[in-house]
Every structure is written in C-alpha cells, then in structure tokens.
C-alpha cells in the first residue's frame, strides 16, 4: 500500500475523514489508473473530480481540438486554449489542479488498432463520447480484459449513466443495453445540450468511478440511471445480459 505524505494527508483530508475511504482507500485511489475516453462536456467534470480526488494516473483519449462552441459546457477548457488539442488542454488543467497526477494524453481517435495500447494497464475506463463506434470498441475491450466500465451520455435536457462489472459472471455489457444499429445518431452538435446537464451526468460518472475503485456502496451495475432535467425526475431501470448480444457471445463469461 502507498504511504501517504503529510501533504497528501492534508490535501485529501476530507476524503480520509470518511470511514468508507480512510487512509487505505485514499492510498488505493493514488495507486489507480483510469482511462477517460472523451474530454468534452462529460469528460470535463470526470477529469476534474478524478484529479481532485487523487487518482494517481489518468490516460486521456480525444482527437478533437478546443473550439469556441465547446466553452458553453466543456468547463476544463477556456478561450486561451482555442485550437489546442483537448487532451493537451485537459492535461494542463489537471497539472494546475493537482500536479501529482500522472497524465498520458492521446490526441487521436480510439480504433481497433490502437485500443489495446492506449488502455493498457488501466484499472477502469470511463467513456462519454458521442461516437457509438468508440463505445462498442471500448465495451468489447473491457469485457475481454474484465476491466470495469462507466458509461454516460447527455443530450438536450436529459442524461443517462450505467456501469459494467466485467469481472462478474453473466454481467450485461454496453451492447446488451444499446444494440448496434439502434443508436439514434444524435450529438450535442446537432441537437444541443444545456451545460449543467453534462456537468451533472459527468459528476455522477466520476462518483461511480470512485465507488467502484473503492468497492464503496452500490454502483450502477446492471442498472441504468436516467435523468430528465426539465422535470427534475430521476429513474433507475434494471437491465440484464441479452442472450443475443454478439459482444457477449464473442467473449463468454
């Protein structure tokens, strides 16, 4: 177990005061490696809270550049970063917030060719991109490697979060929940989204990540959390492994 310095005991004191975390839990966070796929609207609060919580190593994957239209919701970026790779902007933000966090930035799109290299040795993957091809790719990789996955989405005034425990026998996967060919092909660029909606959903994704790493409480395994921000209505739906899911069929548990 990592031994915490006096500075770390002070920085993470509010985490450590929680009986569910304590010094041992904080040491576990400091030893953890999390990959964040997409550092935009959802990835912004994920990166903020994971870096602040003391996740020891973050791998960031995003091939986009910061644009002025991003700044309404992607709050780790600012006007001084326009035209800069989002992962570079995110890395700069993390280093200002918590210089102890080790960051590996990949300014390229995740593909079947580079997926294994980018996600090597991670303890958990968080994904919040508009690209469903990347989601299915990450889902298949995490299922094969038995790496937990936290997935979130937000559009308009609504959002959803679910987590997947691929070390658990008969765990459903992302493709069980969202079969290929049935996604709606919507994005924030085409449909719009309110900034606080992605902020809220991204914060929940960060919380799920910390809970899973600490084995804390009840993560959203086998459950989909859905939020209608207009009505301030939260609902949770159970979901199970689909018997006809091709991803599960290819990687049996």
**Which H or E run includes 145?**
helix 132-145
Three-state secondary-structure class, residue 32: coil
Q: Which of 176, 188, 245, 248 is catalytic?
A: 188
Three-state secondary-structure class, residue 248: helix
> In the sheet where 223-228 sits, what is the strand order?
102-106, 57-61, 33-37, 124-127, 149-155, 158-164, 223-228, 233-238
Is the dihedral angle over the CA atoms 114, 138, 37, 155 positive or is it negative?
positive
User: Among this protein's residues, is 245 annotated catalytic?
Assistant: no
Strand partners, 225: 161, 236
Provide the 10 A C-beta neighbour count for residue 59.
21
Q: How far apart are CA 68 and CA 73, in angstroms?
A: 10
CB 201 within 8 A of CB 154: yes
Kindly report the CA angle at 240 between 150 and 244, in degrees rounded to 5? 105
Which residues are annotated as catalytic? 188
């Amino acid at each position: 177990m990592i031994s915490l310095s006096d500075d770390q005991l002070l920085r993470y004191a509010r985490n450590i005061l929680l009986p569910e975390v304590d010094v041992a839990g904080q040491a576990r966070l400091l030893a953890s490696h999390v990959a964040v796929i997409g550092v935009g609207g959802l990835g912004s609060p994920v990166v903020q809270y994971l870096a602040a919580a003391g996740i020891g190593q973050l791998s960031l994957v995003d091939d986009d550049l910061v644009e002025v239209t991003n700044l309404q919701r992607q709050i780790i970026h600012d006007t001084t970063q326009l035209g800069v790779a989002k992962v570079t902007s995110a890395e700069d933000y993390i280093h200002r917030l918590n210089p102890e966090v080790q960051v590996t930035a990949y300014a390229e799109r995740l593909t079947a060719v580079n997926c294994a290299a980018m996600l090597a040795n991670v303890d958990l993957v968080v994904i919040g991109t508009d690209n469903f091809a990347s989601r299915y790719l990450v889902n298949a990789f995490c299922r094969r490697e038995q790496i937990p996955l936290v997935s979130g989405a937000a559009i308009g005034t609504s959002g959803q979060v679910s987590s997947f425990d691929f070390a658990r026998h008969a765990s459903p996967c992302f493709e069980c929940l969202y079969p290929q060919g049935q996604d709606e092909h919507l994005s924030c660029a085409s449909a719009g989204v309110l900034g606080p909606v992605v902020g809220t959903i991204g914060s929940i994704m960060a919380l799920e990540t910390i809970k899973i790493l600490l084995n804390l409480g009840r993560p959203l395994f086998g459950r989909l959390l859905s939020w209608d921000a207009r009505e301030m209505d939260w609902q949770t739906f159970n979901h199970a492994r689909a018997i006809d899911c091709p991803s599960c069929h290819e990687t049996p548990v």
